[in-house]
Structure 1
Amino acid sequence: MAARPLVPIETLPLFPELDRLLLELLRNLPPADWQRPTLARQWTVKDIAAHLLDGNLRTLSMLRDGYFGEAPDDFSYTGMVAYLNRLNADWVRAARRLSPAVLIDWLAQSGAEYTAYLNTLDPWGPAPWPVAWAGENESWNWFHIARDYTEKWHHQQQIREAVGQPAPLMEPTLFRPFIETMMRGLPHAYREVAAPAGTLVHVVIDGAAGGSWELARAAGGWHLQSPGAVPPAATLTLAPADAWQLFTKGLSAAEARERALVAGDETLAQAALRMVAVMG
């Protein structure tokens, strides 16, 4: 298990608010909006709502109740991605038989049970699943919970983008923990980037909800640290809306580069554009 980071990301208190906002949104959608296309490629608004329900039920079944049904037979990164993609596709296809009303009722019930389960976990206990997109083979529960927060946040935001109501999740209290969790994947994204020891890269997310993250090269690889006074070799600046879409595969690296600001070493800055902070 890795050493404890100095500042864990506290997301658990935010889950009830995410659920409240989701249910409020879905209960007020006109029928046509449920079939709108989304950034999740072939999934409609209704498909994403069904996927969020699956996330609740899968966690309760697998982790709370110890019932896997279909367990993965390959725990490598590639094997887990294939396993999750298959589970996701099977569920979404079957859930197209369910009405929006049924989905809303089940989301309300399962969401409360899901959050209650997360509250039983020791934040510093070993997580059942590592945060693989951050390069971890073992993770603490607080990071597992924060990763789940990013899943719920970005899927709800995909729905909100599709129906033209993105603002609520972009508030600092909800967006900042989301992007802070995503940034924990930067050292893994830079793992193959060569640079002299002491090289610094800054990634900046504009606006009140954003911030600045400093990535430093040491003898053993790249790591995040508190920004200091030493000028970085490269700085990448992204708008919040571009950042969340980029890191969840809703925006390509090439598209993001056209919108981003880069200062200093272009190659060093562009490595951040290749970070993916989701599985599948």
Structure 2
Amino acid sequence: MQKPPVDVLPLFPELDRLLLELLHSLTPEDWQRPTLAREWTVKDIAGHLLDGNLRTLSMLRDGYFGEAPEDTSYAGIVAYLNRLNADWVRAARRLSPAVLMDWLAQSGAEYTAYLNTLDPWAPAAFAVAWAGETESLNWFHIARDYTEKWHHQQQIRTAVGQPAPLMEPALFRPFIETMMRGLPHAYREVAAPTGTVVRVVIDGNAGGIWELARAAGDWHLQLPDAARPAATLTLLPADAWQLFTKGLSAAEARERAQVAGDEKLALAALRMVAVMG
């Protein structure tokens, strides 16, 4: 059975409200704290979130792309996005926290208003490449944008010791549900007999159970119904979001994960990356 789409549109205003509430509470020292996003500080991530709003409004709402990637392969798109991100973050370091917060508030409302104009079943302008798609529907594009806003805010929250609000089931579950849509692509080169089932469990009341089944020639997600999966991987929510957004290595995650059954099959899930760049 095909898994249903993930509806996140009503969550964007709450995500933005929580972000602005958090940013307004930060001290000058907090803004300069290091984060899981490598060289980026808390302030750098806030600038990157502003870029996401403005870039979407410019390119998709207004049809103004400014510059396009020369290489449209997966590697080319990643290099293009990394360059755009680095250029913007470097320039945004000139902006004060007050300016960033004002612009995040204004652009966030416009960004959400634009998303609400999209037909969820129409083709999206950009495919969700980390899920292996070359064409995606708008609902998946919107859900992917939700994961971007969620995990960058959580990087800020982790840096300043306030991670709890985004781990509530209402906000975390849609995030991890969207991330799990990348599992079939992560397993695309994993060989197994037809009918093999791998179960991935995100522990706790905000998590859930996902099953990946091997069909003739590919893997696909199915509603959980296997009595005895060939392999089961169990992760804590805090480890899962960091792993799938490159904040935790596969080796680090393995030390914290629980594995049952075929270890090789289970550990293939640790290779999934549900972000670009």
Range of TM-score over shorter length: over 0.9
In structure 1, the residue matched to 2:157 is 160
Identity over aligned pairs, percent: 86
Go from structure 1 to structure 2 and tell me whether the alpha carbon gap of 1:237 and 1:6 turns closer, same or farther (over 3 Å shift).
closer
2:137 is aligned with 1:140: yes
- Listed one character per residue, the Cα deviations across residues 64-116 of structure 1 (whole Å, up to 9, x for unaligned) are 00001111122111010000000000000000000000000000000000000
* Residue pair 2:199, 2:233 contacting (<8 A) in 1 also: yes
User: Gapped runs of 5+ residues in structure 1?
Assistant: none
- CA distance in structure 2 between the partners assigned to 1:36 and 1:177 by the alignment: 28
Partner of 1:268: 265
Is 1:192 equivalent to 2:197 in the alignment?
no
- How far is 1:230 from its partner? 2.6
Task: Quote the residue 1:220 is aligned against.
Answer: 217
Question: How many Å separate the matches in 1 of 2:273 and 2:32?
Answer: 27
Residue of structure 2 equivalent to 1:232: 229
Counting only pairs closer than 5 Å after superposition, residues 1-280 of structure 1 correspond to structure 2 as: 5-280=2-277
Amino acid in the other structure paired with 2:103:
W
Structure-2 separation of matches of 1:231 and 1:133? 29
What residue identity is the alignment partner of 1:38? T
> 64-73 vs 39-48, which deviates more?
64-73
In structure 2, give the amino acid aligned to 1:193: V
Cα RMSD, aligned residues only = 0.9
List runs of 5+ in structure 2 lacking aligned partners.
none
Structure 1 Cα separation of the partners of residues 210 and 266 of structure 2: 12
User: Structure 1 pair 167/9, CA: closer, same or farther in 2 (3 Å)?
Assistant: same
Residues 200, 233 of structure 2: 8 Å contact kept: yes
User: What amino acid is aligned across from residue 210 of structure 2 in structure 1?
Assistant: W
Q: Which runs of 4+ in 1 moved over 6 A?
A: none
| SS of equivalent to 1:184 | helix
- Offset at residue 6 of structure 1 (A): 4.5
Following the alignment from structure 2 to structure 1, what is the Cα–Cα distance between the partners of residues 239 and 186? 18
Hey, what's the Cα distance between the residues in 1 that align with 2:217 and 2:75?
A: 25
Report SS of the residue matched to 2:238.
helix
The AA in structure 1 aligned to 2:142 is I
Task: Provide the C-alpha distance between the structure 2 equivalents of 1:27 and 1:157, rounded to a whole number of angstroms.
Answer: 16
SS in 1 for 2:211: strand
Q: Secondary structure at the match of 2:37?
A: coil
Question: CA offsets per residue over residues 20-77 of structure 1, 9 Å max, x none?
Answer: 0000000110110000000000000000000000000000000000001111122111
**Contact residue 150 and residue 166 of structure 2 kept, 8 A:** yes
| Distance of 2:47 and 2:261 partners within structure 1 | 44
Q: CA deviation at 1:211?
A: 0.3
Cα distance in 2, alignment partners of residues 106 and 70 from structure 1:
23
Query: How big is each residue's C-alpha offset from its partner over 1:197-241, in whole Å with a ceiling of 9 and x where there is no partner?
Result: 000000000000000000000103100001114310000000000
